[in-house]
Amino acid sequence: MPLPESSVPRTRLHLRRISYEGWQREDGLVDIDARLVDTKDQDYVLLSGTRPAGEPIHDMRVRVTIGGDYVIRAIEAVSESVPYPDGCEHVAPDYRRLVGANLMHSFRERLYALMGGTLGCSHITELIAFLPTAALQTFAGLRREIEPHEEKPFQLDRCHALAHTSETVRRYYPKWYRAGATMRTRKPTTQEPL
């Protein structure tokens, strides 16, 4: 269902586009190419110069290479358009510090510890923060929903609809449905990056 139309006339000021593309490599690994592009609908005056309407203020790209274990084997980050040339783009190689991190095990905590705040680029860090779900979706097309060797399907208990107490699980995964059971959940704190 789409968002309802705005009841108040409005003018768009900013457009951010984020994309993730999963690629299977011939060597058995997977590349996820991510991109973040910010544009304005009007000329944008910066101390570094005016950006014409529609020309990117930010255009950042990241390629992460992972295996089926979700461990980062390689990472490349580039900044094609930045608001402050010869400043923003210098931190991109530092993201290689994430090689060896597992996207499914405390990844965001590690990302923000290594590259949060002034240690990295806020836009590249934000783009990388959502790689875990992009990786899951990439591998989803390469595996069955229920693998024979799994104790339970990987996707269960990872979101509201797939909680083991939900109607969705009762309907589609009855073997793992637990009526009335309570699930221990953890809510992020206000200081914790999502």
For 110-160, write each residue's pLDDT tens digit. Answer: 999 999 999 999 999 999 999 999 999 898 877 666 666 667 777 788 788
Domain co-membership, 130 together with 156: no
Domain co-membership, 18 together with 95: yes
Domain co-membership, 92 together with 173: no
**47 backbone dihedrals φ, ψ, rounded to 5°:** -65, -25
Conformational region of residue 75, where left means phi above 0, alpha means psi within -120 to 50, and beta covers everything else: beta
DSSP state of 166: S
Is 134 within a domain? yes
**What residue type is 5 in one-letter code?**
E
Domain co-membership, 106 together with 166: no
Is 31 within a domain? yes
Query: With contact defined as beta carbons under 8 Å apart, do 112 and 97 qualify?
Result: no
Q: Where are the beta strands (DSSP E) in 30-186?
A: 30-40, 44-46, 49-51, 58-66, 72-81
Query: With contact defined as beta carbons under 8 Å apart, do 38 and 44 qualify?
Result: no
Spatial separation of the C-alpha atoms in residues 31 and 90, rounded to whole Å? 23
Higher pLDDT, 89 or 105: 105
Can you give the pTM of this predicted structure?
0.80
> 73: domain range?
14-140
Helix 107-115 to helix 122-129 angle (10° resolution) is 170
Query: With contact defined as beta carbons under 8 Å apart, do 21 and 33 qualify?
Result: yes
Is 110 within a domain? yes
Is 8 within a domain? no
pLDDT digits (tens, 9 = 90+) for 32-83: 999 999 999 999 999 999 999 999 999 999 999 999 999 999 999 999 999 9
Domain co-membership, 128 together with 179: no
Dmax (CA) for the chain in angstroms is 61
Strand partners, 40: 14
**64 backbone dihedrals φ, ψ, rounded to 5°:** -120, 130
